[in-house]
Amino acid sequence: MSYRTEILSKGCYRARFADQSEDLPATLALRTLCFGTAQTDLDSFDSACSHVLVEDIRSGELLCSFRVLELSDGRQIGRSYSAQYYGLAGLGGFSKPMIEMGRFCIHPKWSDPDILRLAWGALTRIVDDCGTQMLFGCSSFAGTDVEPYLDAFAFLKHRYQAPECWQPQPKAPNVVRFGEMLQGKPDVRRAMLDMPPLLRSYLLMGGWVSDHAVVDAEMNTLHVFTGLEIGAIPIGRQRLLRALAG
């Protein structure tokens, strides 16, 4: 991707593209800290992606990072990180540009909601620059124990299932088929509290998820495939995103 280095800045925070040689070590260190992996969180997709950093302008401290992989359309879906874990043949028919966003993390000592807002503003600019019509990726729940997230998964089952034409199919060897196993109504308040912040944001904008979660022992997470069609974002939310993007 050929973008300006700085994407946008607001207040004391700045979002910019990383320089692969200079910034990648700090990005990997933040990811390793946030995901708690035993070894440095580096994989073969890092060299193919553009990395976005959110920093404190005053100190230069790295607060948040994520990576984006641009695809011309669904025919390239097999290049994505998510394709390792999900059968994505349905999305192979998507005819417009797509972006996979992954490895989203915020430094655990920072809780300012403006960091997440700036990250979404930066992503909005990227989406507009690329003409992207679908965002997708893996939304991660910490740990591999399903029990704490039963309400969250039940809520996803009842309210946020993917359209049948896009529904990802099980591919990973260890999955939780919550679309089949969970019955009854969830505690909505508890469900939303247990959702990862990034997933909550997707859902508020009209996002949807797979009917199963992948148990990823290496990353110590449960993750669900998450998709968001840009054209389906409610007008009010689109205005908010454009305001965040400046």
Identify the structural domains of the chain with CATH numbers, from first to last: 6-244 (3.40.630.30)
Q: Where residue 214 falls among pLDDT bands split at 50, 70, 90?
A: very high
Overall average pLDDT of the 23-37 stretch: 94
> Residue 1: what pLDDT?
44
Overall average pLDDT of the 208-215 stretch: 97
| Predicted confidence (pLDDT) at residue 3 exceeds the cutoff of 60 | no
How far apart CA 245 and CA 16 sit, in angstroms, is: 13
> Residue 4: what pLDDT?
52
Higher pLDDT, 182 or 50: 50
| Predicted confidence (pLDDT) at residue 138 exceeds the cutoff of 50 | yes
How far apart CA 54 and CA 244 sit, in angstroms, is: 14
Overall average pLDDT of the 161-177 stretch: 96
CB 115 within 8 A of CB 106: yes
Overall average pLDDT of the 174-188 stretch: 87
> Residue 13: what pLDDT?
97
| Predicted confidence (pLDDT) at residue 182 exceeds the cutoff of 80 | no
Q: Where residue 179 falls among pLDDT bands split at 50, 70, 90?
A: confident
How far apart CA 16 and CA 1 sit, in angstroms, is: 13
Predicted TM-score (pTM) of this structure? 0.94
Overall average pLDDT of the 5-16 stretch: 94
Overall average pLDDT of the 39-51 stretch: 96
| Predicted confidence (pLDDT) at residue 123 exceeds the cutoff of 50 | yes
In sequence order, which ranges of the chain are alpha helices (DSSP H)? Answer: 20-35, 113-130, 150-159, 178-181, 188-194, 197-204, 235-244
